[in-house]
Amino acid sequence: MEENVKKIMTTNDKFEFEYISKNVDDTKLLGKEFAKYITKDTIITLNGELGSGKTVFLMGIASHFGIENDVCSPTFTLVNEYNTNAGFPIFHFDVYRLHDSNEFMEGVGTDYFYSGACLIEWGDEIIEDILPKETIHIDITKNDENTRTFKIWR
Ligand SMILES: Nc1ncnc2c1ncn2[C@@H]1O[C@H](COP(=O)(O)OP(=O)(O)O)[C@@H](O)[C@H]1O
Ligand SMILES: [Mg+2]
């Protein structure tokens, strides 16, 4: 897993990588592994039905960065800001309740991009048209109660 994640996070080219998670801990571990390569400029979208594991994956990321606040989806506030031990903040978005990117621009805007890592739940569904091309897309499919397929691409 580590070599693949490293390749993904250090290349600017297109890539596609698949990972099967068999339980919550697998998903947290994948998030934690990813987190090592996240920088101030990273933009990641997390896509997949409710309960697929978007927030669990983000908890894995949070554990790497020593984030103390509880990580929960900012469905009503749109964005949560977490301080990290890495010298840049993490902005956690959940755009599920928005209709389109116009609404995102009015309510939130893209000023957050590149001023901290941006992790956007439901990003591809709602605001795909304004995502920079270097965005890393994570599509999560719920296979059964405890198994998830992660497709990570750009
Ligand atoms: N392999 C797995 N990875 C992530 N979550 C899992 C997995 N198996 C079961 N779950 C459960 O699925 C749910 C995922 O919830 P959550 O991360 O909040 O979803 P989302 O943010 O996509 O709506 C949790 O209740 C978690 O316990
Ligand atoms: Mg969520």
Evaluate whether 119 touches 58 at the Cβ level (below 8 Å): yes
Can you give the pLDDT at residue 9?
Answer: 73
Among 32-46, 64-78, 136-150, the minimum mean pLDDT is found in: 64-78
The two three-digit tokens of residue 136, written as one number:
């890393």
What does the angle CA 125 – CA 96 – CA 144 come to, to the nearest 5 degrees?
Answer: 75
What's the gap in Å between 147 CA and the centre of ligand 1? Answer: 9
Q: State the burial class of residue 58 (Cβ atoms within 10 Å of its Cβ: 0-12, 13-18, 19+).
A: buried
Q: Is 150 helix (H, G, I), strand (E, B) or coil?
A: strand
What's the gap in Å between 54 CA and the centre of ligand 2? Answer: 5
Can you give the pLDDT at residue 137?
Answer: 97
Query: Which pTM does this prediction carry?
Result: 0.92
Q: State the burial class of residue 35 (Cβ atoms within 10 Å of its Cβ: 0-12, 13-18, 19+).
A: buried
pLDDT at position 8 over 80:
no
What's the gap in Å between 106 CA and the centre of ligand 1? Answer: 30
With a Cβ cut-off of 6 Å, ligand 1 is lined by: 21, 23-24, 26-27, 48, 50-56, 73, 146, 148
pLDDT at position 26 over 80:
yes
Confidence of residue 48 (pLDDT cuts 50, 70, 90): very high
Q: Is 92 helix (H, G, I), strand (E, B) or coil?
A: strand
Closest residue CA from atom 15 of ligand 1: 51
Sheet of 16-21, strands arranged across: 16-21, 148-153, 136-142, 43-47, 117-121, 90-94, 79-82
CA 29 – CA 66 distance, rounded (Å)? 14
Mean pLDDT for the chain overall: 92
Torsion of CA 42, 47, 51, 56, to 10 degrees: -20
Specify the CATH architecture of the domain 39-153: 3-Layer(aba) Sandwich (3.40)
Confidence of residue 4 (pLDDT cuts 50, 70, 90): confident
Confidence of residue 18 (pLDDT cuts 50, 70, 90): very high
Among 64-68, 133-137, 141-145, the minimum mean pLDDT is found in: 64-68
